[in-house]
Structure 1
Amino acid sequence: MSPKGLAILGSGIFAKEAHLPAIAALPSGAGELKAIYSRSEKSASDLAQAAQEILNLAQRPAIYYDGDAATDLDALLARTDIHAVIVALPITVQPSIVRKCLAAGKHVLSEKPVAKDVATGLELIRDVDTAYKPKGLVWRVAENWELEPGYHAAAQAIRDGKIGKVNSFNARVVGYVAKDSKYYKTPWRTVPDYQGGFLLDGGVHTIAALRVLLPSPMASLSGFASQNQKHLPPHDTIHAVVRTADGVHGLVELTWGAPVPSRSEQAHGGISVTGQDGWLNIETVALDGGRKRVVRVTVATVTRNEKGEDVGEEKHVVEEESRGVNLELASFLNAIDGQDDGFGTPIGALSDVAFIQAGLNSNGQPVDLLKLVQG
């Protein structure tokens, strides 16, 4: 991996708590954080100070902010020593910033979701494919659940036939969003100007995990959406029945509208996949007092005697430390070097947005998910 000069655009919670540690985890010499951009000088300065501490830098990265031509985003993008940018800005701002960065000749890793809706995402993908991809510029969407080793371990168990032919699946997310939550207090999340609110921002993670797990893509959805908590407009809940291209069906429950913490804590959330010869369950577990998170996969397989009769089951548990953000950054930098592993594709991220959009608009009527992403 050749050395890359990096910049982070955005100074929010995830930039500090996820992207900075991911840069720190890169192999020595793979990437150097040279600059940070934010709308305000203070927020850019705060993240630069955190970067100096987390990355153990001799001096903090240069800061760029709006209001002065010498320090704005254009000035950052004019630097020839910055080869790639991580875009972690509000959802509706990202498409225009992705275009701007690519036009400046920078490779781009932009945070999920790819856009606020399918139409906006399709337009962006077509623009990039026409104007920038032929120039060798790389654009990837940062969907960390797509890279989580735990989901890949579960997918491998399915491919290896540990549970037999898949016949159904279930995904459940039950979230409680307090009004004093650090994520809720982010202004662009408090009054969202995009469909679905937390459903879009957070729900695409679960759909990306199902993309990794299921033997064929989800093809049809019929569901209902609602807003159950007044502080979570425009919607906070989706319940959907889903069918994949090869006929497997399942249930997907996504809600950030739990009325009290216990509803979330006792929901037994996660993903399960059932086959003819067993099933597996996937859950995220906090260990070491919350300092470490693992994706735990429990595989239960039927056992049979010499006559082929079912006599019980055997279980196997795999735990993989959560490190999807680290892996997505490394994958992005490898793609710049011409080593494309196929992850982080904008069209894959668009299918995640399509699922949420379909769930919000279905109102009980079937929606063709594959047709939706074709425009």
Structure 2
Amino acid sequence: MLAIIVAVLVTVWAAAAIYFDSPFGSLRTVVAILYLVTMLTALSFLRRGHMGMMIAFAGFVIVLIAWLSIKPSNDRNWEPDNAKTAFAEINGDHVTIHNFRNCDYRTEKDYTCQWEVRSFDLANLRGADLFITWWGSPWIAHPIVSFDFGEQGHVAMSIETRNEVGQSYSAIRGFFRQYTLIYIVSDERDVIRLRTNYRKDEEVHIFRTTASPPLVRKIFLDYLQRVNSLHERPEWYNALTDNCTTNIAVTTAEARNIRMRLDWRILLNGKMDEMLYERGAIVTGGLPLSALREQAHINAAARGADQSPDFSKIIREGRVGFANNTLSSER
């Protein structure tokens, strides 16, 4: 019975992979339906000697091999805010980031992007903050890590899908080979203000992490290695295994030289703040989680700050963890 259940599940996945990722064009729906009907028929009527299951698993393997052969590319007709990928040069404590995104928005869809070169001194790296954006379901959110370089400013990194012109994100398509992965390295007035001031129904919260500067440095450099890797060798985004939250969890675990702690809230990341609260990974100020989340809400402050050069300072004023940037022991 367990084998039959698994066979049905992989058959449904394979049919969906044919529908979303196959090269059959207008025939993909017909081919996907034919595949699904054929495999389910085999499972239903060829049960003697488990022939039906063998056919279903063989079909899955063939589709999987073909699916894995689909290669991502950096050479496509990208949306203007995805037109370039960042890369970094590291020389001792000096870091130069190329294609640092700084978009000026008039509306969510009407904007002008500047691709800048910015330099930072790792000796100035004080800590890391975590922005979490909720919209719609409380179970799903989008995290953005921002690295605090004091007077040199903040480096916000948002792990997203790199959309082609006319393409938008779909949760279902995110499980297939529809989107390439991109690490957007940007100014907070770009990637945060987009979500607080221009997109509808997105609620953004900021939390100060308890990571020490030495740990934050390791995480930042790991991020840059990933940024450089994706600049040279594109990868597919996957909503289950290679997304905004799993990449943060993997990078943090690697920086701490530990095995990543599995937790269902890494996948249902709308509960990420709860997980971090329990682990002591964010500054709480002694508040219960509900109160901490309430005071961390920055939409009103961000709208007030808007294009101010002090945007990053204003959205942090009076919030837990931002009275000063002195951090304690490494976690």
- Normalised TM-score (structure 1): 0.21
Larger Rg belongs to? 2
Q: By percentage of residues, which structure has more strand?
A: 1
- Normalised TM-score (structure 2): 0.23
